[in-house]
Structures are given as structure tokens and as C-alpha cells.
Amino acid sequence: MALKFKNQLKGKRLTLRRTKPTLKMAESMFKVIDENRKHLEPWFPWPKLTQKVEDSMKYLFDKEEETEKGKKVEYGLFIKNEYIGNISLFDINEKKKSAEIGYWLSSFHTRKGYMTEAVKILEIEAFEKLKLNRIQIKCDEKNEASSGLAKKCGYKYEGKFRENAFSEHFNDFRNTLVFSKLKSEYKKK
């Protein structure tokens, strides 16, 4: 039976709410993406492909298939009712008990510890409820914010894929860093 995910996870400052395919969610997501193009485009291909609310709506609909199969869950980060970005658990493999975390948030809210809080909230769910054994985080070698966050959250550097990605933004081949945390390294707070 496919893994089932909670609709809401609560932290001290943040509430993580599952990003469902509603018009309200699509509008909120599109607005934050549209306001943060410069901040997001170096690291993701999808902001360029997101040019109208309908594009966000299609994205939200399409990813539900993976969620129903228990392979991916995405949460919006909310401060009270203000949506500020996303965190997701994807490539969930029930046999290997492994998954990957991906994240982004509005530049206005960076460097305030919000994504550290979101990672910790999602880890509780992943390690304790979904019983995963390994979570990995991958990022571009030059993405200092993302690799810094992974390290700050206690993820161990495993190595580098050399020129395994091509970036339209930088118009060159990119190195990808891999970090991971095992259940045995995760400490309940």
C-alpha cells in the first residue's frame, strides 16, 4: 500500500501545508515565483517555464499522481497565512527507505532560519512516521546557500557528481554535491 502523507505539519514559527491543486494555492505559488525570478532561476529550470497562474495550477495537478503513489509530498511554508516557499520529499523509495529533500523560499524571507525549521519539521515526519532510513540533499556546487543549509542541518557531504547537469542559465555543465543524513544520525528534539 502506498505511503500516506499528512496534510499539515506544525513547527514553532511555520506551518507546512500540503500544496493541493486549488486556484488559491496556484495563485499564491505563482505570485512568489514571479517576484523571485532572479533568486530562483540560477538553480531551477522551472521558474522560466512558469509564466502564468495556469502553469502553477498544472504543476500542482500533475504532481498529485506521484503523491498518490506515495513517491512525493510537497508542503508550502506558511507564516500564519502567508505563503513563502516550498519544501518537498521526493524520490521516496519504500524498499530502500530513502528519499530526497528539495526546497526554495522567497528571497525576502531568507537567512532567518525558516528553511532550517522546515527541514527539521519534515525530518520528524520522514524518519519517525514514514520510517525512512536515509534522506539526501543534492545541490549545484556553486549554490552556497543550499549547501550551507544542508551542512547546518547536519547532512554529511558524500561527494560530487562531476558535470552531471547542464544549466541553461549559466550555459555550462555543472557539478552536483550530495549530502545525506541517516536515521542513526537523526536526533529527536
Ligand X SMILES: CC(C)(COP(=O)(O)OP(=O)(O)OC[C@H]1O[C@@H](n2cnc3c(N)ncnc32)[C@H](O)[C@@H]1OP(=O)(O)O)[C@@H](O)C(=O)NCCC(=O)NCCS
Contact 109/76 with Cβ under 8 angstroms?
Answer: no
CA distance 7 to 135: 20
Side by side, which strands form the sheet with 156-167? 8-10, 15-18, 73-79, 82-93, 98-105, 134-140, 172-182, 156-167
Task: Give the residue with the Cβ less far from ligand X, 98 or 143.
Answer: 143
Question: What residues pair up with 16 in beta bridges, in sequence order?
Answer: 9, 77
Residues 6+ apart with CB under 8 A from 111: none
For the CB of residue 119, give the shortest distance to ligand X in the complex, in Å.
Answer: 8
For the CB of residue 115, give the shortest distance to ligand X in the complex, in Å.
Answer: 3
Task: Give the residue with the Cβ less far from ligand X, 116 or 164.
Answer: 116
Task: Give the residue with the Cβ less far from ligand X, 67 or 85.
Answer: 85
For the CB of residue 130, give the shortest distance to ligand X in the complex, in Å.
Answer: 21
For the CB of residue 93, give the shortest distance to ligand X in the complex, in Å.
Answer: 20
Which residue number has the CB closest to ligand X? 148
Contact set with ligand X (CB under 6 A): 39-40, 43, 103-105, 110-116, 139, 143-146, 148-149, 152
Task: Give the residue with the Cβ less far from ligand X, 12 or 111.
Answer: 111
Q: How long is the chain?
A: 189
